[in-house]
Amino acid sequence: MKTKGYIQIYTGNGKGKTTAAIGLAVRAVGAGLKVLFVQFVKGQFYSEHKALKQFENITIKQFGRPGFIHSKPSQEDIKKAKEGYEFVLKAFKENLYDVVILDEANIAVFFKLFSEEDLIELMDKKPQNTELIITGRYATEKVIEKADLVTEMREVKHYYKKGVEAREGIEK
């Protein structure tokens, strides 16, 4: 990408934040761009990994453990998130990617796996020509203020509340 890269946030309690980021990643690869897809909090295999691995220009890295954080994160959760934070800092220094997606980075801040200041530092250290996408519920006001584009996914209705579990190929 030779033009200025912007910072996009996909947040809110509705479904589709990661899916929107994946769509942008596919579009970027279609234009010949290199994409780094970093997932915080998530450590399990999802169907999108199988699809995204088919693209030579997408690199996927996970910095989470299998399972969900429901209340207090473990030391392992914190350790993995900090490793991811350091990995992204290094990737920004090397400036090898046109698009960098920090999936669930807002959730990592919410669970105090790293600080809001750490996420803002990543935003500040983004190379000028890199597009940065940050996903996850609970984006902070400071993160929203610093971004160039913010989309809030709002849940209006969800079948999960009727007991429908996450389905392979649709939610996982």
d(CA 138, CA 152): 10
pLDDT tens track for 2-21: 689 999 999 999 999 999 99
d(CA 126, CA 49): 24
Residue 55 falls within a domain, yes or no?
A: yes
The DSSP result for 66-99, as a single string, is SS---SSPPHHHHHHHHHHHHHHHHHHHHT--SE
Looking at residue 33, its pLDDT comes to: 97
pLDDT tens track for 98-141: 999 999 999 999 999 999 999 999 999 999 999 999 999 999 99
Residue 64 falls within a domain, yes or no?
A: yes
Looking at residue 129, its pLDDT comes to: 97
CB within 8 Å of 147: residues ≥ 6 apart: 7, 8, 9, 123, 134, 139
pLDDT tens track for 56-77: 999 999 999 887 777 789 999 9
pLDDT at residue 1 tops 70: no
Looking at residue 22, its pLDDT comes to: 96
Looking at residue 26, its pLDDT comes to: 96
Query: Letter for the amino acid at 46?
Result: Y
The CATH number of whichever domain residue 121 belongs to comes to 3.40.50.300
Residue 160 falls within a domain, yes or no?
A: no
Domain count, the chain: 1
Q: What is the mean pLDDT of the chain?
A: 92
CB contact burial 26-51 (16+ within 10 A = b; e otherwise):
eebbeeebbbbbbbbbbbeebebeee
Residue 158 falls within a domain, yes or no?
A: no
Residue 154 falls within a domain, yes or no?
A: no
d(CA 162, CA 43): 26
Rounded average pLDDT over 141-155: 97
Looking at residue 118, its pLDDT comes to: 98
d(CA 24, CA 19): 9
Residue 127 falls within a domain, yes or no?
A: yes
pLDDT tens track for 18-40: 999 999 999 999 999 999 999 99
Structure tokens, 49: 């990994």
Range(s) of the domain holding residue 127: 7-137
Residue 2 falls within a domain, yes or no?
A: no
Residue 109 falls within a domain, yes or no?
A: yes
